[in-house]
Amino acid sequence: MSIKNGKLEKMTIVAYGDDSFSKRVGRVKVQINPDSYNQSKKHNYTETPTIGGIQVYRFGNEEAETQSFEFLFDQSGVIADSPKETVKDQIANFVKLVYQVNGQTHAPNNILLSWGTLQFRCFCESIDIEYTHFNRNGIPIRAKVKADFKQRMTHKQYQKMVQKNSPDMTHYKVITAGVTLPNIANEIYKNPDYCIELARFNNLDSFRNLKQGIEITAPPLKT
Query: Tell me: the pLDDT tens digits for 151-181?
Result: 997 655 665 555 555 555 677 787 888 888 8
C-alpha to C-alpha distance for 89 and 109, rounded to whole angstroms: 19
The reported pLDDT for the residue numbered 158 is 62
Q: Residue 44 — φ and ψ, nearest 5°?
A: -110, 135
Q: Which of 45-49, 58-62, 75-79 has the highest mean pLDDT?
A: 75-79
Average pLDDT rounded to a whole number, residues 59-85: 89
The reported pLDDT for the residue numbered 119 is 93
- The residue among 113 and 187 whose pLDDT is bigger is 113
> Tell me, what's the pLDDT at 3?
56
pLDDT at 138: 96
**What is the per-residue pLDDT for 155?**
59
pLDDT at position 49 is 65
Q: Domain spanning 3-160 has what CATH number?
A: 2.40.30
Distance CA 55, CA 96 (A): 48
pLDDT score of 40 more than 80: yes
Cα 110 from Cα 145, distance rounded (Å): 18
| pLDDT score, position 45 | 83
Q: Where are the domains of the chain?
A: 3-160, 165-218
Total count of residues recorded for the chain: 223
Task: Output the pLDDT for position 161.
Answer: 59
Entry pTM: 0.67
Q: Which residues pair with 127 in a beta bridge?
A: 147
pLDDT value of position 165: 54
Report the first-to-last Cα separation within the chain, whole angstroms: 47
Q: Considering the chain, what is the average pLDDT of its residues? A: 86
What's the CATH code, domain 165-218? 3.10.350
Q: What is the pLDDT of residues 105-159, one digit of tens each?
A: 999 999 999 999 999 999 999 999 999 999 999 999 999 999 999 999 765 566 5
Whether the per-residue pLDDT at 68 is higher than 90: the answer is yes
